[in-house]
Amino acid sequence: MPDLPEHPSTVSTAFRSALEVIRGVEPRIADAIGQEVADQREMLKLIASENYASPATLLTMGNWLSDKYAEGTVGRRFYAGCRNVDTVESVAAEHARELFGAAHAYAQPHSGIDANLVAFWAVLAQRVEAPALERAGVRNVNDLSEADWAELRQAFGNQRMLGMSLDAGGHLTHGFRPNISGKMFDQRSYGTDPATGLLDYEALRASAREFQPLIIVAGYSAYPRLVNFRIMREIADEVGATLMVDMAHFAGLVAGKVLTGDFDPVPHAQIVTTTTHKSLRGPRGGMVLCDESLADQVDRGCPMVLGGPLPHVMAAKAVALAEARRPEFRDYAQAVVDNSRALAEGLKRRGATLVTGGTDNHLNLIDVATSYGLTGRQAESALLESGIVTNRNAIPADPNGAWYTSGIRIGTPALTTRGLGTAEMDEIAALIDRVLTTAEPGTTAKGAPSKAQHILDPKIADEISRRASDLVAGFPLYPEIDLG
């Protein structure tokens, strides 16, 4: 675990005391918090987007900063008395700039979708609103005539975005209809090469030339390989698009300098968004990095898109980013990828088919339909029953659709934080393979084939659960915290 304090008992005392205070008001909540850490200690957590924040990061979130309204940004607030929030927000942004080598950082977004909305609207403000204001000879939207305002609103709705398709590993917030981004933009997707499963930059280039998007979004939540951001920027420049990268999943690998050069999005994209709680191992939240040209627009995220910031969470972002600047974070990031590769090798050796044939990052995507004759939903449930927590995920051209899916996504950031290494990854591959080779598709109550139900011998589920919990017991989570 990161950030072991000099006196571990201090951390124990802090969490115990906090729970005691909470228990005095609402014991069910104290119990739920205690149970959550107990559950997390026992789980074999392979959800690619989850991690374990340090005690320092967790403790930073429970304090008086939470009580302060601070709409606006540093030095430009709508409320008085924000000097401490200014410090917190400035320190978080400073660490983010230094860590990622970004010209500008904005630490307010509450989540990944908020960060993406701030980015979209910063680009729309720069490329659609600012020229409209200039044409009308005014500085503020409030000064536009009704006719000019109607025209601008229509222009906002006419913009195009090119994003990675969902079944290739893209994200709902990259312009898909169920999300607000899909209702804002006319979206087209780019996919992967059906033969290799890899991004096809020439197909993407052709699509960009034809579609002429305002924004090209790069980034993924289920693509197990690297993205060449230099080529993405080249394509964006060629068609006059702004390159936005959502690095939520792999921010920790960028911070830990595993992804550098063409694979580091920050020098190549005009704007980069992230969450702070995935491979970056911080508190639950989001962040935006950008070049100088977008800094003013990004800083208007509140009130443009966001409500009042969460100063206690920005404080925790600052603490986590300070941790990520330490040399040991680079070892962690490298170990995440080494573990992911070891897991891939262990699965392949046992006969599993992986989308793209392997991994270069923190995640693997098992094609469980081809490998084991199961849907993602059946595999996810069988694994959960056996003490292995994963999530189902679509694979390219998924025959089982986005709900049942044919894939299982597995990620290594959390278990690497606990200290598990490549030998344990091979053992985990053996456990996963044993469950999935033994599980079978089930039937509905009426005996028809079901994509949801599975059959798994309870003895196998018990045996694997025991082996999974023995495995993680050797790598205690928060060993310094004893809640009694």
By CB under 6 A, name the binding residues for ligand DSN.
Answer: 49, 112, 221
Taking the least distance from each CB to ligand DSN, the nearer of 112 and 311 is 112
Catalytic entry in 50, 246, 299, 323:
246
d(C-alpha 309, C-alpha 301), whole Å: 10
Taking the least distance from each CB to ligand DSN, the nearer of 49 and 356 is 49
Q: Which residues, in sequence order, are CB contacts of 307 under 8 Å at separation 6+?
A: 71
d(C-alpha 95, C-alpha 112), whole Å: 19
Taking the least distance from each CB to ligand DSN, the nearer of 112 and 256 is 112
> 71 catalytic, yes or no?
yes
Least distance from ligand DSN to the Cβ atom of residue 409, Å: 8
Residue nearest to ligand DSN (CB): 49
Furthest CA-CA distance within the chain = 75
Least distance from ligand DSN to the Cβ atom of residue 313, Å: 17
> 246 catalytic, yes or no?
yes
Least distance from ligand DSN to the Cβ atom of residue 436, Å: 21
Least distance from ligand DSN to the Cβ atom of residue 414, Å: 12
> 275 catalytic, yes or no?
yes
Catalytic entry in 205, 284, 325, 330:
284
- DSSP state letter for 303: H
Catalytic entry in 57, 242, 275, 417:
275
Catalytic entry in 68, 77, 233, 278:
278
Q: Are 14 and 482 in contact (CB under 8 A)?
A: no
d(C-alpha 89, C-alpha 73), whole Å: 8
DSSP assignment of 440-454, as one string?
Answer: EEEE-TTS-EEEEEE
Neighbours of 341 (CB within 10 A): 18
> 278 catalytic, yes or no?
yes
Least distance from ligand DSN to the Cβ atom of residue 112, Å: 5
Catalytic entry in 3, 16, 42, 71:
71
Single out the residue of 286, 284, 261, 165 nearest to residue 221, CA to CA: 165
- DSSP state letter for 66: G
Classify the C-alpha dihedral 455-460-463-467 as positive or negative.
negative
Tokens found for residue 75? 């030095």
Taking the least distance from each CB to ligand DSN, the nearer of 112 and 191 is 112
Distance of CA 305 to the CA centre of its chain: 20
What type of residue sits at position 237? D
Taking the least distance from each CB to ligand DSN, the nearer of 92 and 166 is 166
d(C-alpha 85, C-alpha 475), whole Å: 37
Least distance from ligand DSN to the Cβ atom of residue 381, Å: 18
Taking the least distance from each CB to ligand DSN, the nearer of 220 and 372 is 220
The catalytic residues are 69, 71, 246, 275, 278, 284
